[in-house]
Amino acid sequence: MRIIIFGPPGAGKGTYASRLGRELKIAVISTGDIFRDEIKQNTDLGGKVVEFVKSGDLVPDEIVTDIVTKRINMPNSKRGFILDGYPRNVEQAKSLGNITKVDAVILLIVPDWIIVERLSNRRICKKCGAIFNLKYLKPKRPGICDKCGEELFQREDDKPKVVRERLNVYEAQTRPLIGYYRDRLPILNIECNSVDIPPKVIVDKILQELQKLNLLG
């Protein structure tokens, strides 16, 4: 099964993709995670993308497509994959169509106010990457990771001003993908109208819709 999970920043793509990946036993390819890891390790790729990430801009198409192509061709993607963060515009979608076949698009529909609320309160562990929320998933000790005891931090692109810019970029460059895929692939519209809805509820909705398309076997 080859799926794209699609929606605005902060819609929960990473959370739902990781759970779906475990449930379906397929790879999760997250361009955001790849870039953050490269930045952390000070690689050549990290140096290329760090300024784009900080400002909330999209990384150039050719860089992202090259990374995705390599990941899709890795052995752990042979059973299938979920793409999180790619494609983000129509040109990337066209490139993806030349690389591989896709079975369906999961479209997460989340109001802007929920996005800003979620991301501006998100904190991440510097060591293990665990994610907390200052309002809805508080650490037991302020500023300290429950899992490993290291310090929590706020990503530059989670600050309210950058979040709003990311939403503007999404509207201008990414939303046209809905129109592009509408006549090409099944689109599963998954609505989320609550800030603290349990991830399992959304994942179960997605699995039900995939079942209706006979994609679960």
User: Which one of the listed residues 13, 36, 71, 123 is annotated catalytic?
Assistant: 13
Q: Does domain 2-110+162-212 have CATH number 3.40.50.300?
A: yes
| pLDDT tens sequence across 65-77 | 988 998 999 999 9
Q: Which residues of 186-195 are buried (b: 16+ CB within 10 A; e: fewer)?
A: bbbebebeeb
* Average pLDDT of the residues of the chain: 90
- Digit-coded pLDDT (tens) for 139-196: 999 999 999 999 999 998 899 899 999 899 888 877 889 999 999 999 999 999 888 8
Band of the pLDDT at 56, cuts 50, 70, 90?
A: low
Active site residue 166: yes
The domains of the chain are located at 2-110+162-212, 111-154
Q: Is residue 118 annotated as a catalytic residue, yes or no?
A: no
Confidence (pLDDT) at 83: 96
Query: What gap in Å lies between CA 9 and CA 166, rounded to an integer?
Result: 7
Catalytic hit among 2, 36, 122, 123:
122
Q: Looking at residue 67, what is its pLDDT? A: 87
Q: Which of 19, 88, 118, 123 is catalytic?
A: 88
